[in-house]
Amino acid sequence: MDEILAALGLSLKGTWPAALRANFDEALFNRLGEEKLRLWFKNLPVSFRFGGKEELAVGTYFGLTSGSRITFFANQNVNPVINILHECGHVIDNLWEDFFTESLKKVEFRRNNTFFAGWNGLKYLGLRREVLRAEVLKEPRIAGGDAWQQRGGTAHWEDWADIFSNAMLGNFNEENEVGQQILAFVARMEAHAREAVVI
């Protein structure tokens, strides 16, 4: 795996506990895969660092993204796949100079022909968890985790990271009208990336 990471321009820093590294590999290699890593990361270098436990309560975790760097913190040394993908969503938007969040800020999601979320003409209103198949992911391979990390709100950059992570995990309800619109939005974003990146 380390050779593949290096070939992709991705680097790991810090001492990664085995459980966290397993989740990291699941997120990047099984949920994204080499082609999508090259596509979304634009073949640019990205660094991932384990920053330790700090003073976290048992079983808690979070990530901090700055530019093309993500630092993960976790007590019990496990950061769920959903959070790893969420932080990747932030890095991806940074690498694309906010293209995905700016695009999201212009979208209106509708249910029964009525405004549900997105740009309401004045500001961005976040999506709600009801568009997901599962609000908490419990599969052992996923290692659990809150599927909607920020629980909605008005931060379109947080909604993008949640949309990206849940789309990569197949966690949007395709039978839900808004879920279908979200997946169509992600497909448009991926099509944009494919036009710009040679993989």
User: How many C-beta atoms lie closer than 10 Å to residue 44's C-beta?
Assistant: 15
Same structural domain for residues 143 and 90? Answer: no
How many domains in the chain? 2
Per-residue pLDDT of the chain (199 residues; tens, 9 = 90+): 788 999 999 999 999 999 899 999 999 999 999 999 999 999 999 999 999 987 888 888 999 999 999 999 998 878 999 999 999 999 999 999 999 999 999 999 999 999 999 999 888 999 988 899 999 998 878 888 889 987 666 789 999 999 999 999 999 999 999 999 999 999 999 999 999 988 6
Of 95, 118, 134, the residue at which a domain comes to its end is 95
Q: Is residue 25 within a helix (H) or strand (E), and if so which, with residue range?
A: helix 18-25
- Residue 1 in tokens: 């795996």
Same structural domain for residues 192 and 112? Answer: yes
Of 47, 70, 95, the residue at which a domain comes to its end is 95
For residue 116, give its domain range: 99-196
Contacts of 80 (CB under 8 A, 6+ apart): 23, 61, 137, 142, 143, 144, 145, 146
- Is there a contact between 87 and 160 (Cβ–Cβ < 8 Å)? no
